[in-house]
Structure 1
């Protein structure tokens, strides 16, 4: 972002309370946490139930904010400080919507491609792979971490410059119409859907409705020259294309398939000869747009072959060759909390997958964990999965059956819903003495203290609200 105070005032419909000393000075970044403000930033004071950003306007000014957006006029002392610092203070009716207003206006300055990305699972990992692949040939700005909501999406656009060649925008969704609302100002010319799973089924009621909600991304692509990247092995892809009217609107469609079937497919990007090494990392032959190259991932699990072929399809669409794409994929690293492997000082291995979970990612994680070469015992710590509504019991029972079929020596379950994982695992034949239950983080750590020895491996997986990163921290420390 490079906007002066006059432009910011115009785009947000604001009113200037304090004029800047230099009206031509540009704000080149945006922050709503005063601790994250860098010199030259725009600071947006967001009200909240527990913390009100208006209380931190002085700190933001002292940190170098050149423009401040407020929805409540600051006191005279703060206005005086702004004058001393040479900063502008602009009042708007709503600072939350002002961020979107700015992103909508700034989108008109961006000359590169904008890739929207969504899906039930694998969004952040695939977004990172798309970023890493495209960065081998283009200047790229991508969503930071998983900032894929009503604040993170506009911030991604505002982080790009007019010269940025590709902006990759991850989009989360909790209901029908939300992706459409985001696309209204993101205006993607490319859209990628990872899959249609059971995440958010509590709010949408069925996978068909989830598919309709995800299809809003493809529906937003421009007629005639937009390009959709869709999973040819997903049973709901035809419904996505039908709902979005992609074919009727002459939107380009690229199919990818990393389902490890080791057969030629009709996909534009796919994998063959897929093998896992002793640490669960896949190697395969990448086929993309008639070209091919051998690829080896640092990410673990067969499911990441699907994510890799998705990223490869975007790179190929923008003219990259298979060898360059495969090299970029091979360099990609997992994020903390997403199947991140840690060697504990006590001699055992931790697979930290505690950031989030849903039934699809749980099964993928168990499959990956079972494929690891482990000298000692395999122990899985599984916690509750959220946003499953009436499906919650059945989904947790399904994970219990999957755990019983996995190559586990012990299963530790924590959380109210995870009692159904434990029960189903026992019913599916897992030795009752190896299925343990506890209702607290200290309880989990206590069980693991009794179980883990050098050479063992432990998987930690649950929805984020369970806080199982504290288990990982306890094991590391």
Structure 2
């Protein structure tokens, strides 16, 4: 972002409580956390349940903010400080809405391609892989962490410069219409749907409704000019494409497929899909640490694959763990290839990508055992993938899974937790620790599926888990920790590692 205070006031419908000393001075960043202010930033005072951002305007100005957006009158001493520092204070009707207004106007300044993605599971990992692939050849700005909501999405746009070649925007949603609302100001050129799972089924009621909500991203792509990326392995792929009316709107579709039967699906594809650009994986295997190795295939992109009758091939290996990440890698490869990057360069970039903290992060504990930290979030799809990956690792000692409640499942919560328990009961786990009321259904279902009751622990608190693990774990053991973020099981990870 490079905007002066008068532009910001005009874009947000604001008025000056304090005029800037230099009206030509550019504000070059945006934050609503006064602790993160950098010189030249615009500070946004957001109201909150625990703290009101208006209480920190003075701290933000003192830290170097050149302007502040407020929606409440600020004290005279704060206005005096702003005048002393030459900063602007802009009064707007709603500070949250003002962030969106700024992003909507700033979008017109961006000359590069905006790529948006969504999905039920794996979207943050896929976003990171897309970012890392494109960064090997282009200037890139991408959503930080999983800041994929009504504040994080506009912040991503505002973090880009006009000349940034690629802006990668992760979009989350909790209900119908939310992705379309984000697209109204993001105006993505390209859109990618990672998959359709059970996340947010509490509010949407069915996977079909979830697919319909995800398809909003592709439906908002510019007619005759956009580009859609769809997971051919997802059972709702056809539904999403039809819901978005891609063919009728002349929006080309790129298919990606990281499933074990990708090659067979490719052979069985109908004539229309055979001529679409596609990326898929073959010869997939896991190393002793559960990291995939495979051969990437790409066809239909022109350029270097045009002379080869069967397209391009490139060997690829990932630092990320689990077969599910092959699909995420194929998605990122499809975007990179569509940007014109050779498949070999894409594969090299994927090989250097690292997992984000809290997502199947392997940590060495002081006690000589290993902790697989996957406590950032969970839904049924990611829980199944995490368990399967964990049980594919080579472990010299015993395997322990610490599983907590999964949220946002509504009336489906019990059935979803039972399904995880039924899977866990068939896996080679030496101990299953279930934390929380809903996770008790995992324990019950695992026992019903045949797991010895002596290997199952029902825990109510983090302290209970750590107490159990303190006497059980030995050098060489491995522990998986997985739950929805509200369970706070990162405290289990910290306790085990330290």
TM range (shorter): over 0.9
Distance between the aligned counterparts of 1:329 and 1:402, measured in 2?
30
* Cα distance between partner residues in 2 of 1:262 and 1:450: 45
Q: Which residue of 1 aligns with 2:473?
A: 452
Give the deviation of 1:261 after TM superposition.
Answer: 2.1
Q: 2:138 matched to which residue of 1?
A: 138
The CA deviation string for residues 212-259 of structure 1, in whole angstroms up to 9 with x for no partner, is 000000001000010000000111111111111111000010000000
TM-score computed with the length of structure 1 as normaliser? 0.99
Match of residue 439 from structure 1 = 460
Number of residue equivalences = 477
Structure 1 residue 72, shift from structure 2 partner: 1.0
1:287 aligned onto 2:287: no
Change in Cα spacing, 1:212 to 1:132, as seen in structure 2 (3 Å) is same
Report the CA distance between 1:76 and its aligned residue: 1.1
Give 3-state SS (helix, strand or coil) of 1:211's partner: helix
1:111 match: 111
Question: Is the Cα–Cα contact under 8 Å of residues 262 and 273 in structure 1 kept in the other structure?
Answer: no
Match of 2:123 in 1: 123
Residue 247 (structure 1) aligned with residue 247 (structure 2): yes
* SS of 2:172 mapped into structure 1: coil
Give the corresponding residue for 2:85.
85
Q: Given the alignment of the two structures, is residue 359 of structure 1 paired with residue 380 of structure 2, yes or no? A: yes
CA distance in 2, matches of 1:20, 1:385: 48
Does residue 76 (structure 1) correspond to residue 76 (structure 2)? The answer is: yes
Q: Match for residue 411 of structure 2?
A: 390
Q: Secondary structure at the match of 1:357?
A: coil
Cα distance in 1 between the residues matched to 2:143 and 2:235: 28
The alpha carbon displacement at 1:48 in A equals: 1.3
Distance 2:413 2:20 in 1: 54
- SS, match of residue 105 in structure 2: helix
Distance 2:107 2:119 in 1: 23
For residues 254 and 493 of structure 2, the distance between their equivalents in structure 1, rounded to whole angstroms, comes to 39
Corresponding position of 1:219:
219
TM-score, normalised on structure 2?
0.95
Q: Does 1:301 align with 2:311?
A: no
For 1:317 and 1:20, the matched residues in 2 are separated by 44
Q: Distance in 2 between matches of 1:391 and 1:76?
A: 53
CA distance in 2, matches of 1:263, 1:255: 13
Aligned position for 1:415: 436
Is the CA contact 1:260–1:305 (under 8 Å) kept in the aligned structure 2? Answer: no
Task: Extract unaligned runs of 5+ from structure 2.
Answer: 267-273, 300-310
Q: What SS class does the counterpart of residue 411 from structure 1 fall into?
A: strand
1:272 corresponds to: 282
Q: Does 1:428 align with 2:449?
A: yes
Corresponding residue of 2:166: 166
Q: Residue 321 of structure 1 corresponds to which residue in structure 2?
A: 342
Q: 2:262 touches 2:280 (CA, 8 Å); kept in 1?
A: no
TM-superposed deviation, 1:67? 1.1
* Equivalent runs, 1:173-252 vs 2, <5 Å: 173-252=173-252
The alpha carbon displacement at 1:407 in A equals: 1.5
Report the counterpart of residue 154 of structure 2 in structure 1: 154
Q: How many Å separate the matches in 2 of 1:262 and 1:246?
A: 22
Give yes or no for contact 1:262–1:274 (8 Å, CA) kept in 2.
no
Q: Deviations over 1:245-283 (max 9, x none)?
A: 111000010000000226252571000000000100000
**SS across alignment from 1:263:** helix
Q: For 2:23 and 2:234, how far apart are their aligned partners in 1?
A: 53
Q: Which residue of 2 aligns with 1:18?
A: 18
Over the aligned positions, Cα root-mean-square deviation in angstroms equals 0.8
C-alpha distance in 1 between matches for 2:148 and 2:36: 18
SS at match of 2:425: helix
Report SS of the residue matched to 1:273. Answer: strand
Cα distance in 2 for residues equivalent to 1:52 and 1:387 = 27
Partners of 2:263 and 2:182 lie apart in 1 by 37
> What whole-Å deviation, never above 9, does each CA across 1:107-155 have from its counterpart, x for those lacking one?
0000100001100000100000000000001100000000000000000
What are the ranges of 5 or more consecutive residues in structure 1 without an aligned counterpart?
A: none
CA–CA distance in structure 2, aligned partners of residues 75 and 392 of structure 1: 48
Task: Report the Cα distance in structure 2 between the residues aligned to 1:139 and 1:414, rounded to whole angstroms.
Answer: 43
5 Å-filtered alignment, 1:52-67, equals 52-67=52-67
Match of 1:339 among 351, 357, 360: 360
Cα drift, residue 40 of structure 1: 0.3
- Residues 263 and 280 in structure 2, CA contact (< 8 A), matched pair in contact too: no
Q: Deviations over 1:306-352 (max 9, x none)?
A: 00000000000110111100000000001111000001121101000
| Partner of residue 311, structure 1 | 332
Q: Match for residue 400 of structure 2?
A: 379
SS in 2 for 1:144: coil
Following superposition, the deviation at residue 288 of structure 1 comes to 1.6
**Counterpart secondary structure, 2:73:** coil
